[in-house]
Amino acid sequence: MRDAQPSTIFLSDYRVPDFLIDSTHLQFELGEDSTSVCSVLAMRRNPDAAEQGAPLKLHGTELELISLAIDGRQLSDAEWSQSGEELIIDNVPSSFSLSCETRLRPQENTSLEGLYKSSGMFCTQCEAEGFRKITYYLDRPDVMSVFTVEIIADKERYPVLLSNGNLMSSEEQASGKSKTVWHDPFPKPAYLFALVAGKLAVVDDQFVTMNGRCVDLKIYVEEKDLDKCDHAMLSLKNAMRWDEEVYGREYDLDIFNIVAVDDFNMGAMENKSLNIFNTSCVLAKPETTTDAGFQRVEGVVAHEYFHNWSGNRVTCRDWFQLSLKEGFTVFRDAAFSSDMGSPTVKRVEDVTLLRTAQFAEDAGPMAHPIRPDSFIEISNFYTVTIYEKGAEVVRMIHTLLGPELFRKGSDLYFDRHDGQAVTCEDFVLAMEDASGIDLQQFRNWYSQAGTPQLMVSGVYDEQTKTYTLSVKQSCPATPGQPQKAPYHIPLAVALIGEAGQLPLNLDGVEADIETADNTERVLNVSLAEQDFVFKDVEEEPVPSLLRGFSAPVKLVFDYSRAQLLRLMRNDSDGFCRWDASQHLGLLEIKSAIATQAALLEPEYIDVCRDILADTSLDAAMVALMLQLPSEAYLAEIIHPVDVHGIHLARESVRKALANALKDELMACYSRCQSNEEYAATAEQIARRSLKNTALSFLMLLQEDRFTQLAVSQFDTSSNMTDRLAALSCLVNSDAEYKAEALQLFYQQWQHEPLVINQWFQVQAMCHLPGTLKTVKELMSHPAFDIRNPNKVRALIGAFCGQNGVNFHSEDGAAYRFLADQVLLLNRSNPQIASRLLVPLTKWRKYLPAAQKLMYAELERILSEPELSSDVYEVVSKSLQ
Ligand code: 0A1
Ligand code: ZN
């Protein structure tokens, strides 16, 4: 909790550290009441520091200091002082050994930062600034040190004792304790330190690296979860191979450990050779885990593994550079998932997240560049902007350089900076140096916030056979950035004729990037206004723009329905095909809003019918093309947002479509049924996705036979994807069976917390009236626990963030509910509190009555006397 107004930290204030820590020796004695931490740090003045006589200032938060010594001599109270979160020692030699003992109470640590207990085991979370909750230290990523860690604990309660690096020794001690010693030869910042102690079962495997070294792979879980580790293990081995093949990166130690914990603020953490995972991102088996869950495990396991190079071997100089490791690593894990499954589906999913959550963040009060200039609380900056937009920026570099030069650039980056803490600028420079391609203007993507808009128009000249694309770019003002300089935007285009793509001859060849065939080009858009003229165009084309979503921008082109239909039917680019379907769906919804009736255009019904019947198409793409734009996406493009109007219009269009295509949907449902054994393959996942999309449409018709279909799917499916999809349909209907289904489901899975979280979520997302009451009741359910972030996200997070109609009930009751929960969590877990708060911060988008009610709740939060810096930053910025 803050004692004064929290201060803002600026990138422009960055200075190299005054001291370095060559080695760090830690001894943990883990106890039932408290834990003692003894550190011995080999320190010296940094020869590059500006001031050679500066005092030593160590970070430390909520620590009980037991003793402090320099070169073996205990310091008297007069020799050190404390100010805020700093311990200051005025007179220190140029090199010395600092010894320190602190006492912690991990059992009482509900923030889940630093050392804490989860389901009886000790574990740590140190990114970004959690290490300072363990001992006094230079807790900043540019201070890298070689760690040796001794762990002493009761051997019955904590038979497994783990830390980073290699196991040096393991011994039994007197009085029922055991001790292990770990040594990590790679210098690392404190945020990558980890410790685990508990009664854990283990799944073992091995991986032989490209140079023939054998690596022991271990996944540590609770005994009851041993049957849910296969998918994570397979994903890990696939990721290790993929990083060798695609990036030439080999694993660098003989051991790689993953530990699953129940209570975790985020998805997982890439601590050197000891990754700690939220159980939700590592455990999976068909009976308990949906297809999306399987894919998440694969993606997160790969993401954390890839950090070993992009994050650990080469780390960040300071937290303003967070996207250096996160944007690059998300780019890497997205390419991996794409290679493991369906590339177009993965792309559509990523773009959907970007265009809803990230575009909303970029248009809201917390908008920030992927390399922010300032922050109050770094935990608030683990955002979709840093991660997803950051990945898009790396992806654009990949597009501008092409795969070979990009690989040359990444090789140079890793070689040049191995073992260093560097900046986003270092990354861009390596890409520039390796490729010879000028990225000067491209750097604006790192420094400017906001989503650029591309206004494009096209004119065909029948006489000269030319087609001119006129492109205007702009970017809205964001907090602290009223004016934006033009961006360098790679715009991938093709021209679609009656019979397919036309050859492209562009006037001024230097304006574009060559691609594999001459029917697609990547235009270098760099001016505020720019024309691109295509020659020898034999017929009036329909432009296919931003192919593959080549840049994170809002594209505006005034397509006619006929043009969109041509793209939806014929475009060879899967993303653009899907985007055309979304655009057509949007037109139907807009006309339903205007007319208060859903009279669908016959051509729209026809194209949907044809897609449904076309068995040559990827079933997952068919499902995605049939799903209308989500309410979250609609809220990004229809302003001001009338949540209820949008919901009603969208539901009425969905129902009209279901009515028109009833037989085709039923046929499709039957065709996609299968008795084969579950596998998380792209092909099976696609089929289940289409089948369940068809079912959700049919359920809108409120016919008994379709309800029966859902009931029977719920009763007979053995995999969680189909069971949960059926349960969700029933919960959102007036089917009598729904209460019984919920009850049966709970009884069957009450001992599986991750399944019960899905049970909470499906109820929290019900769009029928009365859901707030249900959510409040479920908060008193014995299976709910507000200290567990997964449960908070499943119930409160899903209700407030993904259930528009109920969250925005006109009496403002749900706003009040959310503010109450934020105030409660502000004390126990500030990181979760400030994340939960996000839906309220978007108040400016809504109708005046909603705005007023939301604003009042934000003010109520701000008036709380003991706000954490996390919540303070988000609330105060959203009220500005
Ligand atoms: N670096 C991790 C994410 C992470 C960030 C912060 C955490 O605690 C505040 C925990 C994990 C990743 O990108 O996977
Ligand atoms: Zn990451």
> What is the DSSP secondary-structure string of 258-306?
EEEES--SSSEE--TTEEEEEGGGT---TTT--HHHHHHHHHHHHHHHH
Say if residue 557 is exposed, middle or buried (CB neighbours under 10 Å; 0-12, 13-18, 19+).
middle
Q: Which of 193, 263, 266, 377 to mutate to test the pocket of ligand 1 (most atoms within 8 A of CB)?
A: 266
Which has the closest alpha carbon to 711: 758, 744, 755? 744
pLDDT at 706 > cutoff 60: yes
Ligand (nearest to CA of 268)? 1
Taking the complete model, does pTM exceed 0.90, yes or no?
Answer: yes
Separation CA 714–CA 269 (nearest Å): 35
Q: Which of 432, 291, 372 is nearest to 724 (CA)?
A: 291
* Ligand 1 contact via 268 beta carbon (within 6 Å): yes
Quick check: 394 and 490 in contact, CB under 8 A? Answer: no
Strand partners, 216: 206, 255
CB atoms under 10 Å from CB of 167, counted, come to 14
The pLDDT value recorded for residue 516 is: 61
- Predicted confidence (pLDDT) per residue in 129-150, tens digit: 999 999 999 999 999 999 999 9
**Which residues touch 691 (CB under 8 Å, ≥6 apart)?**
668, 669, 672, 673, 722
CA separation for the pair 686, 692 (Å, rounded)? 10
What pLDDT score does 513 carry? 62
- Is 870 near ligand 1, meaning CB less than 6 Å away? no
CA 429 to ligand 2 center in whole angstroms: 22
Residue 262 clears pLDDT 70, i.e. is over it: yes
- Residue 154 CA to residue 198 CA, distance in Å, equals 10
CB of 270 closer than 6 A to ligand 1? yes
Q: What distance in Å separates the CA atoms of residue 562 and residue 52, rounded to the nearest whole number?
A: 71
Q: How far apart are CA 290 and CA 304, in angstroms?
A: 21
Report whether 55 contacts 89 (CB < 8 A). Answer: yes
User: Three-class SS of residue 450?
Assistant: coil
CB distance 329 to 310 below 8 Å: yes
| CA of 279 relative to ligand 2 center, distance in Å | 17
Q: Is the CB of 426 inside a 6 Å radius of any atom of ligand 1?
A: no
User: What is the rounded distance in angstroms from the CA atom of residue 60 to the CA atom of residue 84?
Assistant: 9
The answer to whether the CB of 300 is under 6 A from ligand 1 is: no
Ligand 1 midpoint to CA 266 (Å): 6
Q: 270 C-alpha vs ligand 2 centroid, how far in Å?
A: 7
What is the Cα–Cα distance from 238 to 231, expressed in whole angstroms? 10
Q: Work out the mean pLDDT of the chain and round it to a whole number.
A: 97
* Tens-place pLDDT, residues 785-814: 999 999 999 999 999 999 999 999 999 999
Residue type (1 letter), 68 = L
How many C-beta neighbours within 10 Å does residue 99 have? 18
**Nearest CA-CA partner of 639 in 552, 554, 765:** 554
Assigned token pair, 813: 């009751």
Burial (Cβ within 10 Å: 0-12, 13-18, ≥19) of residue 808 = buried
Tell me the per-residue pLDDT of 65-99, one tens digit each, with 9 for 90 and over: 999 999 999 999 999 999 989 999 999 999 999 99
Which range, of 357-366, 469-478, 510-519, 570-579, averages the lowest pLDDT?
510-519
Q: Which ligand is nearest to the CA of 331?
A: 2
Note whether ipTM > 0.85 here. Answer: yes
- How many residues comprise the chain? 880
Query: What residue's CA is closest to ligand 1, atom 10?
Result: 266
Scanning 448-528, the segments in alpha helix (DSSP H) are: none
Cα gap 391→407, rounded to integer Å: 16
Separation of CA 304 and ligand 2 centre (Å) = 6
In angstroms, how far is the first alpha carbon of the chain from the final one? 22
State the closest ligand 1 atom to the C-alpha of 326, by its place in the atom list counted from 1: 13
| Residues 6 or more apart in contact with residue 862 via CB below 8 angstroms | 872, 875, 876, 879
306 Cβ inside 6 Å of ligand 1: no
Is any ligand 1 atom within 6 A of the Cβ of residue 61? no
Which ligand is closest to the CA of 332, given by its number? 2
How does residue 501 score in pLDDT terms, banded at 50, 70 and 90? very high
Q: What number of other Cβ atoms are within 10 A of residue 292's Cβ?
A: 14
Report pLDDT digits (tens) over 644-674: 999 999 999 999 999 999 999 999 999 999 9
In this structure, the dihedral spanned by the alpha carbons of residues 202, 205, 207 and 212, taken in order and rounded to 10 degrees, is 110
Atom of ligand 1 nearest to the CA of 379: 9
Q: Does 304 contact ligand 1 (Cβ within 6 A)?
A: yes
Query: What pLDDT sits at residue 564?
Result: 98
Pairing of strands 421-422, 315-316: parallel
Which residues, listed in sequence order, are joined to residue 702 by a DSSP beta bridge? none
pLDDT at 517: 75
CB 870 within 8 A of CB 151: no
Whether the CA torsion 634, 637, 638, 642 is positive or negative: it is: positive
C-alpha to C-alpha distance for 245 and 238, rounded to whole angstroms: 11
Ligand 1 atom with the smallest distance to the CA of 303 is: 14
Helix (H) or strand (E) holding 434, with range, is helix 424-435
Residue 534 main-chain phi, psi, to 5 deg: -100, 135
Across 274-285, b (16+ Cβ under 10 Å) vs e yields bbbbbbbbbbbb
- Which one, of 693, 355, 690, lies nearest residue 553 by Cα? 355
Question: In this predicted model, what pLDDT tens digit does every residue of 751-761 receive, in sequence order?
Answer: 999 999 999 99
CA dist., res. 618 & res. 687, Å (int): 9
Q: Mind giving me the DSSP string for 460-474?
A: EETTTTEEEEEEEEE
Distance 488 CA to ligand 1 centre (A): 30
Question: Is the CB of 266 inside a 6 Å radius of any atom of ligand 1?
Answer: yes
| Structural element, H or E, at residue 555 | strand 554-556
Residue nearest (by alpha carbon) to ligand 1 atom 6: 127
* pLDDT at residue 2 tops 50: no
* Atom nearest to 311 CA in ligand 1: 1
Q: Above 60 in pLDDT, residue 1?
A: no
Cα distances (Å, whole numbers) of residue 137 to 66, 68, 125, 165: 15, 12, 15, 20
Which residues are part of the catalytic machinery? 304
Beta bridge partners of 846: 641
Cis peptide before 128 (omega within 30 of 0): yes
Query: Which residues sit opposite 171 in a β-bridge?
Result: 179
Closest approach atom of ligand 1 to CA 329: 13
Could you tell me if the CB of 131 is within 6 A of ligand 1? Answer: no
Separation of CA 673 and ligand 1 centre (Å): 39
Q: Which tokens sit at 207?
A: 């991986």
- Structure confidence at residue 285 (pLDDT): 98
CA of 269 to the centre of ligand 1 (A): 5
Tokens 């939806």 found at: 568
379: Cβ below 6 Å to ligand 1? yes
268-296 tens-digit pLDDT: 999 999 999 999 999 999 999 999 999 99
| Ligand with an atom nearest the CA of residue 327 | 2
Q: Which two tokens stand for residue 199?
A: 């009664």
Q: How far is the CA of 56 from the centre of ligand 2 (A)?
A: 31
Kindly give, in sequence order, each residue whose CB lies less than 8 Å from that of residue 131, ignoring residues fewer than 6 positions away.
Answer: 59, 114, 137, 139, 190, 191, 193
pLDDT of residue 511 exceeding 70, the answer is: no
pLDDT band at 507 (very low <50, low <70, confident <90, very high): confident
Q: Which ligand sits closest to the CA of 333?
A: 2
Residue nearest ligand 1's atom 3 by CA: 269
Ligand 1: atom nearest CA of 300 is: 14
Gap between the Cα atoms of 654 and 880, Å rounded: 39
Strand partners for 57: 88
| Interval 410-440: pLDDT, tens | 999 999 999 999 999 999 999 999 999 999 9
Residue located nearest, by CA, to atom 13 of ligand 1: 326
Q: Cα–Cα distance between 692 and 709 in angstroms, integer?
A: 11
Determine the Cα angle at 721 with ends 715 and 722, to 5°. 35
Note whether 371 and 385 are within 8 A (CB).
Answer: no
Share of the chain above pLDDT 70, in %: 99
pLDDT of 630 reads 98
- Residue having the nearest C-alpha atom to atom 12 of ligand 1: 269
Whether 278 lines ligand 1, by a CB cut-off of 6 Å, is no
Burial of 608 (0-12, 13-18, 19+ CB in 10 A): buried
Q: What is the DSSP string of 587-646?
A: HHHHHHHHHSS----HHHHHHHHHHHH-TTS-HHHHHHHHSPPPHHHHHHHSSSB-HHHH
Can the peptide bond before residue 286 be classed as cis, meaning omega within 30 degrees of 0? no
Which two tokens mark 533? 């003229």
Question: Which residue, by CA, sits nearest to atom 5 of ligand 1?
Answer: 127
Rg (C-alpha) for the chain, rounded Å, is 28
Residues 6 or more apart whose CB falls under 8 angstroms from that of 536 comprise 465, 503, 505
**Any ligand 1 atom below 6 A from CB of 333:** no
Contact between 27 and 161 under an 8 Å Cβ cutoff? The reply is no
Q: Please answer whether residues 690 and 619 qualify as being in contact, where contact means their C-beta atoms are separated by less than 8 angstroms.
A: yes
- The residue behind tokens 């099976």 is 684
